[in-house]
Amino acid sequence: MRKKLRTNILLSDADQRKEDNEMRRKKLSRICSTTLAAALVVAQFATTGFAENVLADEATSVTLSDADFTGDFWNDGVWTLTPSTWDNTSSWKASDLLTNGDFESADTTGWSMDVADGVTYAVKTDSWMTENATNFLNLYNGNSESAHFGMSQEITLPAGTYKVSAKFEGAEGDTNLTLTAGTNSIEVGQTTGYNTWKTVETEEFTLDSESVVSISITGDLSAEYWGDIDDIVLYAYTADENADSPEQEDTAVESSVYVEKVNLTDDFITGADVSSYLSLYNSGAKFYDYEGNELDPQGFFNFLAANGTNWIRLRVWNDPYNSETRVGYGGGNNDLAAAIKMGKWATNAGMRVLIDFHYSDFWADPGKQKVPKAWADMNLEEKTTAITNYTTESLNALLDAGVDVGMVQIGNETTNSFCGESNWEKRCTLFSAGANAVRAIDENILIAIHFTNPERSTNYANFAAQLDQYRVDYDVFASSYYPYWHGTLSNLQSVLSNIATTYGKKVMVAETSWAYSLEDGDGHDNTVREGSNDTGQSYDFTEQGQANEIRSVVNTIANTTNGIGVFYWEAAWIPVQYAYDENGNLDDEILASNKIAWET
């Protein structure tokens, strides 16, 4: 029987389980093929490997298909069944030369508007619209007869080949609109009702020299027609500068998964969060290379590095243990000692390390930012001192142990609060305490602040403005991006580019993931399962779909202003033992043994 993997999050402390298990179960059924290069189906590759989980002497195989790739799959090309059928030397890339194509400025900045009397327009959001949670341009003809609507933008383009796409939604009927880019036009045609978006794309056009080009949407709206426009994107066709180099090796390999190559800079972060690895290893989970050789911990990290992973992300909790029994809360029991151990393995393998301080004893995320037990009764001034001291002592311990810390995260998903504080001035005081402690130790270590929900209108612009107002010293604005929660990639690119250009910050995705199956593996509901987040998604819940999602995220950040990289969240997290019997029924004994192994 083929076994599918999933996230396994169990707690040992009863009251911690009641409050915290729900949130972490939401973190995905994102199973990739164990960390063997580790579900990092990012950029130029898609991985489908195999793994085996063993608890005590009882072995349960977990088999995926087509673990047939070799070499540096981050940089070595693509996966395809028929390499001769596609061109990996060029691609279409979204350009940032068009202003405000997604209307995330909350107005029509950059566009010249030309409308008849009785025609109105406004940038808005709609909380009921499940297919678009971001800003869009709403238009309405309040006349009893057709009336003109027009919007245009003139931009100077260098010589090259281009095309333009845009999304439309509106009342049932013909829009009577035309999308034009340069001399190429295409009729938008019919819209089919509320919340049903369509994409329209012009034919490509080529400029022999630098030229001023007009991008426009114009036409005579039917009487009382309403509609919405979003994601107007200018694409440029780019060729690989090294395409004709005789030294360039054809590195495509055969596979059942196809991923178009993404051209990345040498310093682009192709990272993985493997914080649960040590706890899984201690619980009996085993990992293997492609030839079936069991990997010890150092071999595991070496294997990741050999296949192109260049950064490892490790979370750190202050004291993830019950204060009386000292039994771990679970979720990896990621204290400082665990981070040092895994950080040394990563460093020995030649990878850099991002330390993700939660400043909490357990999960810190948008739903909760609990103060550590030891800091529960502290006021703001006392917490500021505690964060400074804790950051200083912990970072020095990591560095003294030889861990190559290249980046430190001051808090995890601090969207709504941080370390018990929701007021922005107080939050920024605490951010600064951590950031200044890092700067005092090593000015070359990057400092990241991490948020979620880029899909909410003006969220990130406001967050960045608050950090700037209160003079938080940081380098990287980091975002989580889970497609079923966080909107479109074009919006993600837009809001991150805005921060990069406005404040000069680097930007990255600190967490992303995607499930290749809706099947359960450990007896606990996944966020992505039948009946939950399984419809209306942009990617299939298959190995190919997983590869497509990760490749899309990497490509987006690689083409975002100051984009420095992507981390795949918890690539190694698999069930300790498959919890279903040969008839597909949940085995209570296996489930119970999994709990014992994982919780301790």
Helix (H) or strand (E) holding 63: strand 58-63
CA atoms within 13 A of residue 407's CA, in its CB half-sphere: 31
Whether the CB-CB separation of 551 and 262 falls below 8 Å is answered with yes
Structure tokens at 314: 């490790």
Q: Tokens 């989980």 label which residue?
A: 53
Contacts of 195 (CB under 8 A, 6+ apart): 128, 129, 130, 131, 132, 169
Angle between the N-to-C axes of helices 336-348 and 297-306, in degrees from 0 to 180, rounded to the nearest 10:
50
Structure tokens at 180: 């034009």
Whole-Å CA distances, 391 to 312, 405, 477: 19, 13, 19
Question: Own/partner pairs for 334-339, CB < 8 Å, 24+ apart?
Answer: 334/275, 334/276, 334/279, 336/394, 336/397, 336/398, 338/275, 338/278, 338/279, 338/314, 339/314, 339/315, 339/398, 339/403
Measure the CA angle with vertex 129, ends 126 and 134; round to 5°: 60
Range list of β-strands (E), 116-248: 119-124, 136-141, 147-157, 160-174, 177-181, 184-187, 190-201, 205-207, 211-221, 226-239
Catalytic-labelled residue, pool 413, 421, 570, 599: 413
To the query of whether residue 172 is one of the catalytic residues in this protein, the response is no
Cα dihedral 576/571/491/434 (nearest 10): 100
Residue 579 CA to residue 585 CA, distance in Å, equals 8
Question: What would the DSSP string read from start to end of 349-410?
Answer: TT-EEEEEE-SSSS--BTTB-PPPGGGTT--HHHHHHHHHHHHHHHHHHHHHTT--EEEEEE
Helix (H) or strand (E) holding 446: strand 446-451
**Residue 267: left (phi > 0), alpha (psi -120 to 50), or beta?**
alpha
Whether the CB-CB separation of 99 and 123 falls below 8 Å is answered with no
To the query of whether residue 519 is one of the catalytic residues in this protein, the response is no
Catalytic-labelled residue, pool 511, 519, 570, 599: 511
**Residue 517: left (phi > 0), alpha (psi -120 to 50), or beta?**
beta
User: Residue 338 CB: number of other CB atoms within 10 A?
Assistant: 22
Indicate which residues carry an active-site annotation.
413, 511
